Amino acid sequence: MGRAIRVSLTVAGVVAFGILSGGMLAQGGGQGAAAQGANAPDAAWRTATPTNDAPNPYNTIEGWAKLPAGREWGSTSAVDIDKDGKSVWVGERCGTRPNPQGGAPVSTNSCWDAAAGKMSEFDPVLKFDSSGKLVKSFGAGMMVFPHGIHVDRDGNIWMTDGNDNKPRPRPGQPAGTPLPAAPEKIVGHQVFKFSPDGKLLLTLGKAGGNPPGADAEDPASFYQPNDVITYPNGDILVGEGHGGANSRLILFDKTGKFIKQFGKKGTGLEGEFDQPHSLAFDSRGRLWVADRANNRVQVLDPKTFKTLETHYQFSRNSGIFIKDDIVYAADSESGSVNPMHGAWKRGIRIGSAKDGKVTAFIPDPSGEGVTFAMVDGKPVLKKADGSNGPGGTLAAEGVAVDKDGIIYGAEVGPHKLQRYVKK
């Protein structure tokens, strides 16, 4: 697979170029993407060759981060590196809680205990030093669903909260059953900026967020914000939309004043996203968007948000991190949450932001021995014993890399913060 094939597509007199190299497909944006139209469906991921065979040069270190006695890991998708280059910040969804029926503690994916009608007392924002010792925590009661994290150039910590504590029908209740009482304090769907000591410096959006699809009436508030990143001049960009009708990028100035929004839900190559789940900048200042449900990465002009490149070889990305123009892309859903992408193995793909080539792959161990086949047009995944392949979100969703090249993966389903060190 060392060959390189250039494929061209002419549309209305405009040429779009794609490159297939080492099993990877990268389509240039620019005129080619614009010529196909903002609403032209992008199905190139269906024919892209899976990049499953790159070597794994890393050892996995289990149990590196130590939580205090009485607390266990819950779901986490948020991880970033401190300004010191070594310490690790994590947004974690408040561990486990006692099982009301007795027995083992209940795993949690939320800091809101709907059954008890209260927020967790645990701090969801955690800082670990390079030895894995917990050295700082804060944020208790402030967020329901810590989702994306960003450490800015000044060392401040930004967190997105992707859910709320508003009353909802309980599972199994008949239609028309009255909703539970509303909590005294509505929390959720906001973006927070903290100092390294945990002082709240800025809040974006209103508590409880927009009703789904109401961003046109209130563009400066959110519904399910996924990630946040800051520009060199301090401007703030939020990626929003976790499966509903909304998918957009929202830009604010450094004071939190709304500037503009861009994009909508769709599969087009220009101006459309489906779960813009993670954000990163490369050395040229280009914006990389992990467009998860579209099984691709979109590389955009940071000012106009025009599509410059579209990459499929990094698979179905939940998290993306770029350091020294090396791309670290975490796929936690191929073949489990998304069976149609089952030919792609879950894990962390590592490659170049310059030419797009994938050079290393840390596979999800739960995918070992799983086979993939299309049967009657549907994907079928089987374990070695013939049982169905694993379901749910697995492996890392969030990914970050310290100054020594040590990789950290934040896992939602397995409830882990993994550490990966070069062999």
Q: Return d(Cα 293, Cα 230) in angstroms, integer.
A: 24
pLDDT of residue 37: 52
pLDDT the model gives residue 45: 94
The sign of the dihedral angle between the CA atoms of 132, 133, 138, 144 is positive
Shortest CA distance to 64 belongs to which of 115, 126, 133?
A: 133
Which range is least confidently modeled, 30-34, 120-124, 215-219? Answer: 30-34
Indicate if the pLDDT at residue 402 is higher than 90. Answer: yes
Q: Residue 213: pLDDT band by 50, 70, 90 thresholds? A: confident
E strands of 186-262, at which residues?
191-194, 200-204, 225-230, 236-240, 248-252, 258-262
pLDDT at 90 over 70: yes
Return the pLDDT at 101. Answer: 74
Predicted local distance difference test score (pLDDT) of residue 27: 52
pLDDT at position 24 over 60: no
In this structure, are strands 24-28 and 106-107 parallel, antiparallel, or unpaired? unpaired
Instruction: Provide the whole-model pTM.
Output: 0.90
Mean predicted confidence (pLDDT) in 117-144: 97
pLDDT, position 151: 98
Q: pLDDT, tens digit, for every residue of 161-196?
A: 999 999 988 777 888 888 888 899 999 999 999 999
Higher pLDDT residue, 7 or 183? 183
User: pLDDT band for position 60 (50/70/90)?
Assistant: very high
Of the listed ranges 14-23, 139-148, 162-171, 246-255, the least confidently predicted one is 14-23
Residue 208, token pair as written in the block = 């409880």
- The secondary structure of residue 367, as a DSSP letter, is G
- Tell me: the pLDDT tens digits for 294-337? 999 999 999 999 999 999 999 999 999 999 999 999 999 999 99
